[in-house]
Amino acid sequence: MKTMLMAAALAIFGTGAFADPVAGVWQTRKDDNGNYGHVEIKPCGKAFCGVLIKAFDKDGKPRPSDNIGRRIVWDMVPYPNGLYDDGKIYSPDRDKTYNGDMQLSGDSLKVRGCVLGICRDGGTWKRVK
């Protein structure tokens, strides 16, 4: 009886307790100086947030950064077909915050930020394995 109730609950409420495909560590695209970072994305309430956990120079060597520990992505709400929207994205190289969206496709995450209808392509981030 308990097994049937558990199966029914999973069927009705889905598998929200399991990890979302966007959760994990992502390598950002290189900025104008060739620097890039690793952003860890995980659930924050009903949305997803990401924090810069490592920074690298153009040669791939770890480098110090005042942005380590800083929120880079927040309030990204999951939608069908790999879309995450309605959130914000901070761009350290421009020191600006944008309205953002992300499109997940396998191990690629296309990131975009917009201000007043003008959008900036944040590039495609790659999953760090």
DSSP per position, 20-31: PTT-EEEEPPP-
pLDDT at 32: 87
pLDDT tens, residue by residue, 9-48 = 333 333 344 468 999 999 999 998 999 999 999 999 999 9
- Residue 99 belongs to some domain of the structure: yes
The mean-pLDDT minimum among 10-24, 61-75, 78-92 falls in: 10-24
Range of the domain at 93: 20-127
> Above 80 in pLDDT, residue 8?
no
- Residue 105 belongs to some domain of the structure: yes
Q: Give, in degrees to the nearest 5, the angle at Cα 9 between 8 and 11.
A: 65
Please name the residue ranges forming H helices in the chain: 2-13
What pTM was estimated for this model as a whole? 0.83
- Residue 6 belongs to some domain of the structure: no
The CATH number for 105's domain is: 2.40.128.520
- Residue 3 belongs to some domain of the structure: no
Q: Could you tell me which of 126, 127, 70, 68 has the C-alpha nearest to residue 97?
A: 70
- Residue 53 belongs to some domain of the structure: yes
- Residue 92 belongs to some domain of the structure: yes
Say how many domains are in the chain: 1
- Residue 40 belongs to some domain of the structure: yes
- Residue 37 belongs to some domain of the structure: yes
> Above 60 in pLDDT, residue 5?
no
